[in-house]
Amino acid sequence: MSTANWKPFVFGGLASVTAECGTFPIDLAKTRLQVQGQVGDSKYKEIRYRGMLHAMARIGREEGLWALYSGISPAMLRQASYGTIKIGTYQSFKRILVERPEDETLLTNVVCGILSGVISSSIANPTDVLKAQGRVIQGSMMGNFINIYQEEGTRGLWRGVSLTAQRAAIVVGVELPVYDITKKHLILSGHMGDTVYTHFV
């Protein structure tokens, strides 16, 4: 495989990890909001947060700013694997099915997105399990990995893989084709060039 073919994997992984770093506090606040107020668990019975911003502010004030990134290791590992494979395989499938970028169609991109979503989520499922486990059980990522493996074996690391793959097929089958088509139309319209700013938009 040529160096050029590795670029989508490398840049896709870096982009995914960077995005995770920027959005993790929001994800943490969402999780805290979801688990609070549970009647069956005294630990989460109290309603402590009124909304996302209030949750982030209170966590930062009471537990320290670093607490907003507690549990980020499994999330980073997930993005480093899932994001790398997802974007890399998506671009690779497009290169196989279409000779020239201008010949891409919505159907082609959707098919490539579905395939890359299923493949990447299936391979990276253990990191998804570790990420979910880290939200409810305190402990190191390696400790949680050992516990899952000892109690459930290899099968435990691929728990829920069919549902995860189905979800990824839908999400990636929409997300990446819409991104590609939107970017393509913005560039062809002449209003924007193929720049970093266009990618952010």
pLDDT in tens, 131-164: 877 655 666 778 888 888 888 888 888 999 999 9
151 backbone dihedrals φ, ψ, rounded to 5°: -85, -35
Rounded-to-integer distance, Cα 157 and Cα 152, Å: 8
Rounded-to-integer distance, Cα 180 and Cα 86, Å: 14
- Spatial contact of 130 and 77, defined as CB atoms under 8 Å apart: yes
- Tell me the CATH number at 144: 1.50.40.10
Q: How many domains does the chain have?
A: 1
- Spatial contact of 171 and 117, defined as CB atoms under 8 Å apart: yes
pLDDT of amino acid 31: 86
pLDDT of amino acid 3: 44
Lowest mean pLDDT among 23-27, 91-95, 118-122, 186-190: 186-190
pLDDT of amino acid 51: 92
Structural domain of residue 139, as residue ranges?
A: 3-200
Angle at 172 between CA 166 and CA 196, to 5 degrees: 165
Token pair 């266009």: residue: 198
Does the pLDDT value for residue 60 go beyond 50? yes
Does the pLDDT value for residue 97 go beyond 50? yes
- Spatial contact of 189 and 197, defined as CB atoms under 8 Å apart: no
Tokens of 153: 């074996």
DSSP 3-state assignment of 63? helix
State pTM to two decimals.
Answer: 0.80
